[in-house]
Structure 1
Amino acid sequence: MGLNDDVFLKNERQVELYKRASKISEQVSENAKVADHEARFLDQTLKVLKRYNYLSIVLPEAYGGEDLNLYEWLLMQEKVAEGDGATALSVGWHLGLLMEIKAEGIWTNAVYEFIATEAAKQKLFNRASTERNTGSPTRGGRPETIAVLEQDQYVINGRKTFTTMAEKLDFALVSAYMPDEEKVSWFLIDMLKEGVSIDRTWDTLGMRGTGSDDLVLKDVSIDLEFHLEQNNKQSLPKAWLLHIPACYLGIAQAAFKEAIVFAKSFQPNSLDHPIAKTHQVRQKLGEMSLLLMRSRHLLFDLARRWDEEEQRDLLANEIAMVKVNVTNDAQRVVDLAMRIAGGRGLSKFFNFERYYRDVRAGLHNPPLDDVVYEQLAALALDE
């Protein structure tokens, strides 16, 4: 992890998991520039994840997984992000889905059995819920994707945006409005189904390597069993969303490490020593170190408590708070790295500019800052 590894790696299992994540991180980093340039989630990257059985690692042992708890998973996610943030964020959505259905039991046993069995074969899943006219699903917009019951099948039509790893998915969990029942529901769609296509629309500033293209559904027929009925169980706070700040923390850590290497090696002819010896650069590195340490303690202390405490429903505000704190700290760390690198940080020769673009995406991942501030304000005023 860089700073104080021994503080966060509590036992031999975590040490071994972290070593594996380090190998994944190193290998996916080799593809990061190409993925960023092409705005695709690459086959090479997916092969690395499958080689280490990473697509099933959080599943119970009964399904061939290693039954990672939240703390262990975030340790690995942060390290993967250090190699490539886009890879970590992408696979985080897949593994987060598995973490949610494992922890909450909100889906029926048959749904869980199907998803877990397929994921154990290293099949790739992701939700597809965002749409062009509804914005973020967290804002509450009703999907314009429509599911209509025709005899013994549902027929689905619509378009989903921000479908991460769209070209590589085996299954998409799609939200759709059912006009006959006047409700929103979920459908599990095999990406090989007739009528399913990908529109390569992904051309963004940052996180280009996620390949988050549009998913287009035209008269896609779905058997009744793939209409995902939920249990009536109360949903827990979505702690698995902490993979988001873990990702941006990993990007910030990568920027910090490269800033150190740059500062030690760069010596303009106006100085008789590398810039690492200048007061201004040392101040920036010190601030970066403090921010990383603060964010890491916030994130992993909350993950530990989630794993240990029974009253998880009380942690919702803290989960949101940690996301906002860590992603904003990561912004500052990468900004400071760019300031140390100066104009050279803008060059494609270095990774700084990719870190700078990728870390910005954290501001647009849920929960958004303004929503969290409003929630905390309401809590304070109510008290």
Structure 2
Amino acid sequence: MNFLEAATSEERLSMMKVFAKKFFERSTKLDEEGNFPFDNIHELVESGYTTLTVPKKYGGKEISLLEFVQLQEQIAIGDGATALSIGWHLGIIKNLGEKELWEEALFQWFCEKVKKGALTNGAASERATGSPTRGGKPQTTAELRENQWIINGRKIFTTMAPVLNYFIVSASIKGRDEVGNFLIPREAEGVKIEETWDSIAMRGTGSHDLVLTNVEIDEKYLVEIIQPGNKAANGWLLHIPACYLGIAQAAQNYSIQFAREYAPNSLNGPIIELPNVKQKIGEMEKELLVARSFLYAVARQWDDALEYERPKMKPELSAAKLVVTNAAIHVVDLAMRLVGASSLSQKSPLQRYYRDVRAGLHNPPMDDMTIMQLAQAAIEKNN
């Protein structure tokens, strides 16, 4: 199956459902062993999926944000860690193409690398600064010596580290009161991955530490000057709530199947006929309908917005992440209440969904920042 040969978004969605089933079959073993989903990522690369957000003028499909989140949701139904991992790559390419943040020739060259299978992600978080969205200046440094940048530092939460070909690293520029993003190839001397990822949630994302020791890169690989904590409107970040929505859908699917099959001898049939069980299924469905409708509506709004309108969408984008992620947590909780104590068994996928869905609270933007942003937007509307 090749996503580049599919003529419509419906065809691509149908293809992804097939991949998701394979990912689900591997998910239990991967989670138990804490392994990275190498096969899943390889299959997505080979299928052309990782090129779908490349701009059309560079030979990509340039899929809409709505289609992107729908595809990511399907991956997460199969395996949340795979979805969150690959979502960063596709989202970054989409964002760079939409906003034209890099020098054009360099971005075109980079897109050619992506079309040949290269994977990328940002490396911004540091232990001393916390989430980059809160505005901390990176302790990773970049010093220009003749025509070479010398990069030193350590980044945490470098998702998909085992297979990344390029890292987009934020660093404070010595001698200048500026912070830049630097494109660093994996094969550069001084690049090292330390396998530090020990989270009980999203175990398969391989979000290890990236250690940079006197890494030399060409002057042109300073790809962007950035403002730490920049709260620009970023539609591509909707891949995050899409992932957790998919996990919640998987939890509901499992709980319904359990209710169809579980028939204790105290009843004359399966528990799915019980009113209290139907109540929980209905509550899950309500949460999923509301969350999915909101997420898709905001994605459509982004797709339809004019260039000058998109920067004004920060409240809607942040609210979508907050609403969808918290709804997903509630759905998983309801599914576990329906299934009962066996949901805590290592053999049950629900205990994995429970752990994985909580990770959404710690992906940007954070709930407290979103609430303050929404409050400010409401105040300004009423001036």
With normalisation by structure 1, the TM-score equals 0.93
Match of 2:31 in 1: 36
Between 80-89 and 113-122, the greater mean CA deviation after superposition: 113-122
Return closer, same or farther for 1:130/1:354 CA change in 2, 3 Å cut-off: same
Matched, 1:83 2:78: yes
Asked if 1:357 corresponds to 2:335, the answer is no
The answer to whether structure 1 residue 112 and structure 2 residue 107 are counterparts is: yes
Cα deviation for residue 236 of structure 1 reads: 5.7
Range with greater deviation from structure 2 (299-308 or 155-164): 299-308
1:57-76 aligned at under 5 Å gives the runs 57-76=52-71
1:244 is aligned, of 233, 240, 245, to: 240
CA distance in 2, matches of 1:286, 1:170: 44
What are the Cα deviations for residues 27-85 of structure 1, in whole angstroms up to 9, with x where unaligned? 22232223323333232122211121111111133434222011111111111111011
Give, as a single letter, the amino acid of the residue that structure 2 aligns with 1:138. T
Q: What is the distance in 1 between the residues matched to 2:11 and 2:192? A: 40
Matches within 5 A, 1:268-279: 268-279=264-275
Q: Is the 8 A contact 2:142 2:173 kept in 1?
A: yes
1:154 touches 1:224 (CA, 8 Å); kept in 2?
A: yes
Q: Say if 2:161 is the partner of 1:166.
A: yes
In 2, the alpha carbon distance for the partners of 1:132 and 1:15 equals: 42
**2 CA distance for matches of 1:90 and 1:133?**
24
> Are the aligned partners of 2:252 and 2:331 in contact in 1 as well (CA < 8 Å)?
yes
Instruction: Measure how far apart 1:235 and its partner are.
Output: 9.2
Question: Matched residue of 1:172: which SS?
Answer: strand
Mapping of residues 1-12 of structure 1, within 5 Å: none
Letter in 2 for 1:348: Q
- C-alpha contact 1:39 1:210 (8 A) present in aligned 2: no
Is contact 2:31-2:204 (8 Å) kept?
yes
Q: Distance in 2 between matches of 1:19 and 1:65?
A: 20
Equivalent position amino acid for 2:93 in 1: L
Contact 2:50–2:114 (CA under 8 A) maintained in structure 1: yes
Q: Which of residues 296, 315, 318 in structure 2 aligns to 1:300?
A: 296
Which structure 2 residues correspond to residues 298-377 of structure 1 after superposition, within 5 A?
A: 298-310=294-306, 311-377=309-375
**Equivalence for 1:199:** 194
CA pair 378-62 structure 1, distance change in 2 beyond 3 A? closer
Q: CA RMSD in A?
A: 1.7
Match of 2:128 among 133, 149, 152: 133
What SS is found at the alignment partner of 2:189?
A: coil
Counterpart residue identity of residue 283, structure 2: E
Cα deviation code 1:268-310 (max 9, x no counterpart):
2222221111111110000000110111110111111211121
Q: 1:173 aligns to what SS in structure 2? A: strand
User: Structure 2: how far apart are the matches of 1:345 and 1:53?
Assistant: 36
2:257 and 2:303 map into 1 onto residues whose CA distance is 36
SS at match of 2:8: helix
Cα contact 2:179–2:225 (8 A) shared by 1: no
For the Cα contact (< 8 Å) 1:38–1:209, is it kept in 2? no
Match of 1:267 in 2: 263
CA contact (8 A) 2:20 2:75 kept: yes
Aligned-partner Cα distance in 2 for 1:40–1:184: 34
CA contact under 8 A between 1:106 and 1:230: conserved in structure 2?
Answer: no
Partner of 1:151: 146
Which residue of structure 1 lines up, in the alignment, with residue 253 of structure 2?
257
| Alignment-derived partner of residue 87 in structure 2 | 92
Aligned 8 A contact 1:17 1:72 in 2: no
Structure 2, unaligned stretches of length 5 or more? 1-6
Please list every run of 5 or more consecutive structure 1 residues that lacks an aligned counterpart in the other structure: 1-11
8 Å CA contact 1:27, 1:48 repeated in 2: no
TM-score (norm 2): 0.93
Cα contact 2:181–2:225 (8 A) shared by 1: no
Identity %: 44
Aligned residues: 371
Q: Give the Cα separation in 2 of the matches to 1:50 and 1:302.
A: 28
Amino acid at match of 2:16: A
Q: Which residue of 168, 179, 183 corresponds with 1:188?
A: 183
The whole-number CA distance in structure 2 between the counterparts of 1:67 and 1:226 is: 24
